[in-house]
Every structure is written in C-alpha cells, then in structure tokens.
Amino acid sequence: MNRESLLSGGKEVIVDANIFIAIGDPSNTKFTQFRSVVQTAGVVLKLPRRVIGEIGGQDTHRVQAALYEGWAEIIDTPNPTDGDAVAASDIARRTIANTTGQPEHEVEKTDTILAGLAIQYVRDRSTSGVIVLTDDKPAKEGIQNAVTAQGYTGTIEVYGLADMIGDEPGGSMRLI
C-alpha cells in the first residue's frame, strides 16, 4: 500500500514518543524515510505532552529534531474524564496486562492514555478520523482492542513505524 496515503485524508495523527526514538538522529536513514512520509502526506504529528514524559538527555534531541523542523508539535491534552475515554483506557490496561502477563496495577498509566486520548480527540475536534502511531507492540494492542471494543474501528486507526517505512532490513544494522 502507498504509505503516504495512510497518513493523508485530513486525519489527525497522534504519535507516541517511541516513534521519534526509533527513527534515530536526522543522519539516520529511518529518520529521513519517516520524515519524507510525514511531509509528503502534509500532516503535523501531534505528540501529547503527557506521553513524552520527563525529557532531558540525548533522547530529547531526537524528539526536538522533528519539532524544530515543524513536522511534529507537542499538544496539551485534557485529562481523560470523558466516560468513553476512561473506559477505553481501562480496556487498554486489561489488554496490556493480558498480553504481557503482568498484573493490571503494573501497567503504566501512560501506556493506557493514548487509547482514551484518541477517542476524546475524535469527539472533541470532530475530525474525519485519528491515526495513532506507536512502536510498542503490547501498548499498540491495548489501543487497538480499546478502539474496537468502543466501536471506533472506522475512525481511529493504529499503526507502528514498520507500517510507515517498512520493516528494517537486518542487513542495514550495525551489528558490532
């Protein structure tokens, strides 16, 4: 499938911090591939402040490169007090606990809020749809389950980095 088309169509794209960490520095091939996909689709990725968490080291530069270049922005998000959003976060939490085999109270709250945020975003901003990008598989499953259970399959889509730029060929990695 044409990858740019995944992001186009006037949808809002909410992105998890791990996407920026996974693409590496601007000198990295994955960074340029991903940036090109985003810029060709003409979207500005929305990075919820609470999803980044505390930043401060080498990891910060990576997130900031995209912010400086203007194809990503940090958004402030309201607390998910909406009933549907809370329910979605609960489903995400249960799914993550299930797939990881960890007790529910061990699931990080931040891993569950993207599910609620996506639903809130679709409602409050009445956009044509929301795309959530995360590169954390258990967390992604949590969001996907919540979206399906809450009946938002048509309006919220969840993708990982590989959906955007393809799988990393093993041969391109520095092994030692």
Which parts of this chain interact with other proteins (CB under 8 A)? 17-18, 21-22, 24, 27-29, 52-60, 62-63, 96, 99-102, 106-108, 110-111, 136-139, 167-176
Q: How far apart are CB 6 and other proteins at their closest, in Å? A: 21
Q: Of 87, 151, 135, 83, nearest to 115 (Cα)?
A: 87
Strand partners, 112: none
59/124 with CB nearer other proteins: 59
Type and span of the H or E element at 20:
helix 17-23
- Sign of CA pseudo-dihedral 145, 106, 76, 20: negative
19/85 with CB nearer other proteins: 19
53/154 with CB nearer other proteins: 53
**Residue 55 CA: distances (Å) to CA of 31, 50, 59, 80:** 20, 11, 7, 22
| Residues 34, 151 contacting (CB under 8 angstroms) | no
| Residues 63, 52 contacting (CB under 8 angstroms) | yes
131/139 with CB nearer other proteins: 139
Q: How far apart are CB 98 and other proteins at their closest, in Å? A: 11
Q: How far apart are CB 24 and other proteins at their closest, in Å? A: 8
Q: How far apart are CB 96 and other proteins at their closest, in Å? A: 6
